[in-house]
Chains A and B, each alone.
Chain A
Amino acid sequence: MLSLENKIAVVTGGNSGIGYATAKDFIEQGANVIITGRNEAAINNAAATLGPQAEAFTADQSILADTKKLTAFIHERYKQIDILFVNAGITGKIGPFSEVTEENFDEVMNINTKGAFFTIQQFLPLIKDGGTIILLSSVNALSGMPGAIVYNASKAALNAFGRTLSRELVSRRIRVNTVNPGPVKTDILIKAGIPEEVVAGKDFAKSVPVGRSAEASEIAKLVTFLASDNAQFINGAEYNIDGGLFVHPLLG
């Protein structure tokens, strides 16, 4: 028996990277998946590749009006959903604290944090009692990576949402958990201006105990596990999936 048989899932930012890989894994486990993304062509293309269990909806998760349209669409089409994977996010411009502009600040906080907040708020009536929400954060939420100050804070705030909601949504038996990946081979790093050869492996690999960056599909496996009934007693948890990177070696 597949672990997500007959489940309906929404994946925000589902046309590439971790979102896409997770949509694919959800589908392989029997779910029907609605993926969202800002770029209409990219999101339609992704849904077509994912096949008949996937559906695309163009929405920018930082624009509340878009989310409203999305939830109206889903309500009409599916009535309710089982799984919400809040995945949409950006790193923003990487650079020192003193050079962060208000525009840089707002862009990251609006997508990663405010967008996630109101996506969840608007989706909540559509999530079945006993359903589940999974937030994609980052080990940056717990660390102090120089040059990523807004991104770090935007993710730390997301983890706080996860914890608080895990207690606030108890009466509806909705489990809320957060996944903190380490370095993953996705476009998000390239979009942040990190050179492709660095993303592709070598430099990151040196600092990660397992000696490499993650495939997006590996993050997907953990998200699928948390979304499944095998994780019924897991709530309010923050799971690192980082190849051991977050374990501080101090001077080692």
Chain B
Amino acid sequence: MTSFKDKIVVITGGNSGIGYTTAASFLEKGAKVLITGRNPGAVQQAVYALGHPAEGFKADQSDLKEVRRLADYIQGRFGTIDSLFINAGFAAVGPADALTEEEYDKIMNTNFKGAFFTIQYILPYIKDGGSITILSALNANAGMPGTSALSASKAALNSLARTLARELAGRRIRVNVVNPGVIETPLLDKAGLTEEARRFIADKTPVGRLGKPADVANLVTFLASENAGFITGAEYNVDGGLFVHPLIAS
């Protein structure tokens, strides 16, 4: 088992779903974890549930003033950190022709612009030899109807990671992307996914089920560990095989 003893990890959007479970997984392996979230009550509750040494910071990653405060806080509290997990995201679906500018901005600002400046502002405090892992989605490489802006925001993230992998190589900071398939998270509940829809997704997924946050957390902690020292600029799907195109098979 890889140890994260004395490692400090920052996770954006860490109070629920994949972010929360990943925080728990890092803590279990000995890391100190700071989670962020928009809702101070939810962040506080998550920190309490995660237990020592989890910490929280209230920040909306799409609000650059708050991102700046977060970066300043990280500097003051930790000096430097080992790993940053960019997880905060927002999903909204609907046909492109009906998408309003407001909806578009919210998706792009949270998923891409927020991630971009979160990395930029925190970068000075990431140790040389540290790592950044970005949570994207299969949508980045697919063409799922109803997810035009969402998919584009994720594709932009994957592009960002590739470029950063080369730009940050001089500081030995590894940058990788994880593209999950459909994962059982509160995001799905918020999207109002029915039981029937869940069954449909499970049937479409070769391994026959939706993913669990732990499936993603296992991969994220692996990528942040010393065992992944030669992995950078990579995009790893964790999707139960969904992304393998069956073409005209069922």
Contact = CB atoms under 8 A, between A and B. Distances in A.
A225 B242 CA distance: 20
Contacts of A182: 230
A244 B240 contact: no
Interface residues of A, number: 38
Interface stretch (A40-48, A112-120, A206-214): A206-214
Contacts of A145: none
B230 A243 contact: yes
A250 to B, nearest CB: 10
A246 interface: yes
B237 interface: yes
A241 B230 contact: yes
B236 A239 contact: yes
Give the secondary structure class of B's interface: loop
B248 interface: no
A202 interface: no
B89 interface: no
Contacts of B227: 218, 221-222, 225
Interface stretch (A73-81, A103-111, A229-237): A229-237
A246 B227 CA distance: 19
B171 to A, nearest CB: 11
B206 A235 contact: yes
Given A210-B230, A237-B236, A167 B207 contact: no
Contacts of B79: none
Contacts of A219: 230
B241 A211 contact: no
A166 B233 contact: no
Interface in B172-212: 172, 174, 181, 206-209, 211-212
A211 B169 contact: yes
Contacts of B242: 236
Contacts, number: 122
Interface residues of B, number: 40
B238 A209 contact: no
Contacts of B233: 209, 240, 242, 244-247
Nearest to B235: A240
B172 A233 contact: no
Given A236-B241, A236-B244, A218 B229 contact: yes
Nearest to B234: A240
A236 B243 contact: yes
Interface string A190-219: 000000000000000000011100110011
A173 interface: yes
Contact of A244 (B1, B169, B208): B169
B207 A235 contact: yes
Nearest to A247: B233
A164 to B, nearest CB: 8
Contacts of A209: 165-166, 169, 232-233
19 contacts: A163-B244, A166-B206, A167-B206, A167-B241, A175-B241, A210-B230, A215-B230, A218-B227, A219-B230, A221-B227, A222-B227, A231-B218, A233-B240, A235-B240, A236-B239, A237-B241, A247-B165, A249-B166, A252-B166
Interface of B: 1, 162-163, 165-166, 169, 172, 174, 181, 206-209, 211-212, 215-216, 218-219, 222, 227-244, 246, 249
Interface of A: 3, 163-164, 166-167, 170, 173, 175, 182, 209-211, 214-215, 218-219, 221-222, 225, 230-237, 239-247, 249, 252
Given A209-B166, A237-B239, 6 more contacts: A167-B249, A219-B230, A231-B219, A236-B206, A237-B236, A240-B235
**CB-based closest 8 A-B pairs:** A235-B241, A233-B215, A209-B169, A244-B233, A236-B244, A236-B241, A247-B233, A221-B227
